[in-house]
Amino acid sequence: MCGIVGFIGCKPAAPLLLEGLAKLEYRGYDSAGIALVENGQITIHKAKGRLSVLSDRIRGGDGIEATVGIGHTRWATHGKPSDENSHPHKSASGRFAVVHNGIIENYAALKKELQSDGVEFLSETDTEVIAHLIERSYTGDFLAAVRAAIQRLEGSYALGVLCAEHPDEFIAVRNASPLIVGLSEIGNFIASDIPAVLAHTRRVIPLADHEIVRLTRDAVTVFDQAGHPVEKKEMTVDWDVTSAEKGGYDHFMIKEIMEQPQALSATISPRIDADGGIVLDGIHLTASQLRKVNRLFIVACGSAYHAGVVGKYVIEKLARIPVEVDLASEFRYRDPIVDEKSLVIIVSQSGETADTLAALREAKRRGARVLSIVNVVGSTIASESDDVLYTWAGPEISVATTKAYSTQLTMLYLIAFYIAHKLGRIDDRDQRRLLSALIRLPDMVSGILRQAGELKQLAQRYAYLEHAYFIGRNLDYAVALEASLKLKEISYIHSEAYAAGELKHGTISLIEEGTFVVALACCEKLIEKTMSNIKEVKARGAEVLVLTTDDNRDVLPEADHVLYIPKTNDLLMPSLEVVPMQLLGYYIALARKCDIDKPRNLAKSVTVE
């Protein structure tokens, strides 16, 4: 959530800051601003609303000569969206300006302390206390003042800080909120995410928690919180700027839906060796180690949690190990029974999700081995895990995840096959059969994507309903959770997912004439049970859309509309089922003229609790 960009170099900073912030719009925001050092003073331009409002106000930065500055897109937490609450924030004298992602948990006590010293606040934000703290600590040493101020802060923060008296440098800090440094021929950058700098460089340095960086026009120096220089390894981004652009599509979401066959291939291919075995990127969980595991946890948030629900069914079915799936925001507070005999799988697209990161640290504190599934190389979760598996989905810009979810499923399948084989629960022939089906998934998904036109037409029929219910059993229920989320988060239709067998335990009271029900009926052994549930809702007037396999034509009389998908191994069906549900959600949101890539109140990377 929120976005930070900073630049110092040989070119005017304002246009570069606006350009970088535009690449971070997907993170979610409701105001934008930039601060620049000009003629020994800090000038701030900021505005409520879209970045275009700010850009129009300053004519895209035309005529602004400053070559050092910081920028921010804010997603409101402390204080409503307004020009006053927009970042950057200045200190009382105007000597310092700060942009901030995260939440300062002790800001109220700090604000009271500062007010007692006579400091007047101009905003309702927690961020403004940081600018005043830096000013109070300043005796001429810019870096020392920032270090002193952050020692007073509790919570999460990525900071960019300007000082009017130091126009040839600026300082950035990271703690529990993502921040990278970009190194280019025209100068040096900071940013919340790689797409913001990718037009100018592929050379980046991911910062770790509690690291501070001083940037000048031709140098970057990283320090630890004690002020000691830190040697950092530079990494090269291996995808280009076009990967983070729409490429002719109307929205990033539909582009990323269409990229799923390639993303699945990129995830699967490197993990299968020439002999048909599974290669988990240098991770060697031996049979002896796995026999000591008495419980496996999958911990995640949002769509990643839904992928974990699928993972539970598959791992328990094949490996016969008890699996618990936990929402990360609950795991860390429920005093989980985790110890050295536990294997904890952490799932996160960004690798920066605050609750998930806290759950990881809690699991490690209790002695568990932690294996993470992430998409972003060098992210905090990846760095702090004992083992990491990258999904290789490429950049995912849309807030509503699609290809990241699909590749997370694939990694969970591979982990399930690997563990089951190591433990002798499946033999070589079983593993080959499962992998053969897995390898065919990208082509099967491509076939489903060719049905997009049918889904677009169908969406017109359901676009203006205000309530929807998704039902299914077993793995179908797991997919229903994600299908429901896709619809609600981008179309704003009230949507719920239920295990179909629970209808009579209360939910069926909500079904009335015209209620939209999507029934997932791809779990072969339970189709007859699901058919009974379809009849129940139809008898009460529901409008029913059924998703099933193309070998099951018996459902047609029971449904108002049927979507057919190809049949694969039952355990892998979720990878096929989710695709038409993504398309349905997208096209319904499109028909409702929603802002699909930037849904209201949502952010791509949730880096605060």
Residues sharing a CB contact under 8 Å with residue 595, sequence separation 6 or more, in sequence order: none
- Select from 120, 66, 64 the least CA-distant residue to 92: 120
Beta bridge partner(s), residue 183? 188, 203
Task: Give the C-alpha separation, 225 to 526, whole Å.
Answer: 57
Its sign, for the CA torsion 510, 516, 517, 518, is negative
2 counts as catalytic:
yes
* Catalytic residue selected from 2, 163, 522, 594: 2
Rg (CA), the chain: 25
* Catalytic residue selected from 111, 403, 598, 604: 604
Task: Give the C-alpha separation, 389 to 421, whole Å.
Answer: 18
At 227, the amino acid letter reads G
- Select from 498, 458, 455, 492 the least CA-distant residue to 480: 498
Tell me: cis bond preceding 88? Omega within 30 of 0 counts.
Answer: yes
**How many helical (H) and strand (E) elements, i.e. helices and strands, does the chain have?**
19, 24
Task: Give the C-alpha separation, 41 to 298, whole Å.
Answer: 51
> What does DSSP assign to residue 386?
S
Half-sphere exposure of 324 (CA within 13 A, CB side): 14
Q: Is the distance from CB of 398 to CB of 596 less than 8 angstroms?
A: yes
- Select from 558, 526, 530, 409 the least CA-distant residue to 471: 530
- Select from 529, 538, 543, 539 the least CA-distant residue to 500: 529
Q: Is the distance from CB of 253 to CB of 452 less than 8 angstroms?
A: no
Half-sphere exposure of 591 (CA within 13 A, CB side): 19
Q: Catalytic residues, which ones?
A: 2, 604
